[in-house]
Amino acid sequence: MTHNTTPAPETSLPPFTGDSPLCQKCGHDHAYTEYRAAGAYGGDEPPRWGPSPKGERLERRCGRCSFTWDEALAPHTGPTPYDVTLEDLALALRTANDGCTPGFSPECAAHAARGLLSLLTIRWRHDVLAATPLDLLLGKAAAPTDEADL
């Protein structure tokens, strides 16, 4: 006996309703939210043999009546304040090079930054945002030095 171990992506979920969803049963405007990976059982589902047939989703539970429902994931709304920009990454590459690679021009750094950002989402560490990224890169603010945090 075999079973499908990879659930299909969820396509029939209601859309994400924001930070204050209304309960469909009692109308209360506070619900707890928990992310559920594809194949994960919900809080109100008893586990069965094999993965859940449900795909990736947000599970909502009403704070008043405990009614539970699923919603689609929140749509991506663009860059966050923690996202590294092309300009910041190019400057970081030039600063980190510190003359070690002859001919590593600003154009080379921008090219390398574009390549990295096409493959990766790079974010600033939460503890370095006390100063602006540009100040850190130019040495105008102290970066964290605790090796355990790196």
Count of all residues that appear for the chain in the document? 150
Query: What pLDDT score was predicted for residue 34?
Result: 93
Report pLDDT for 87. Answer: 84
Q: Does any domain span residue 128?
A: yes
The whole-angstrom separation of Cα 88 and Cα 114 is 11
Residue written as token pair 């970081």: 92
Mean pLDDT across 20-25: 92
Mean pLDDT across 118-123: 78
State yes or no: pLDDT of 141 exceeds 60. Answer: no
**71 and 92 belong to one structural domain:** no
- Is 31 strand, coil or helix? strand
Residue 70: inside a domain: yes
Question: What SS3 class is residue 45?
Answer: coil
30, 55, 76 - which closes a domain: 76
How much is the mean pLDDT over the chain? Answer: 77
Helix, strand, coil percentages in the chain from 3-state DSSP, rounded to 5 = 25, 10, 65
| 1 assigned to some structural domain | no
70 and 25 inside one domain: yes
d(CA 123, CA 83): 4
Q: Is residue 26 part of a domain?
A: yes
Q: Which residues pair with 60 in a beta bridge?
A: 33, 69
Range of the structural domain that residue 140 is part of = 86-149
pLDDT digits (tens, 9 = 90+) for 82-108: 677 888 888 888 877 777 787 788 888
Q: How confident is the model at residue 150 (pLDDT cuts 50, 70, 90)?
A: very low
Give the C-alpha separation, 99 to 90, whole Å.
14
**Amino acid (1-letter code) at residue 12:** S
pLDDT at 78: 64
Residue 149, pLDDT score? 45
pLDDT at 1: 47
* Residue 59, φ and ψ in degrees, nearest 5: -100, 125
Q: pTM to 2 decimals? A: 0.47
Alpha helices in the chain (DSSP H): 86-97, 106-119, 133-137
DSSP string, 68-87: EEEEPPPPP-S--TTBPPHH
Tell me which of 57, 76, 95 is where a domain ends. Answer: 76
Domains of the chain: total = 2
23 within a domain of the structure (yes/no): yes
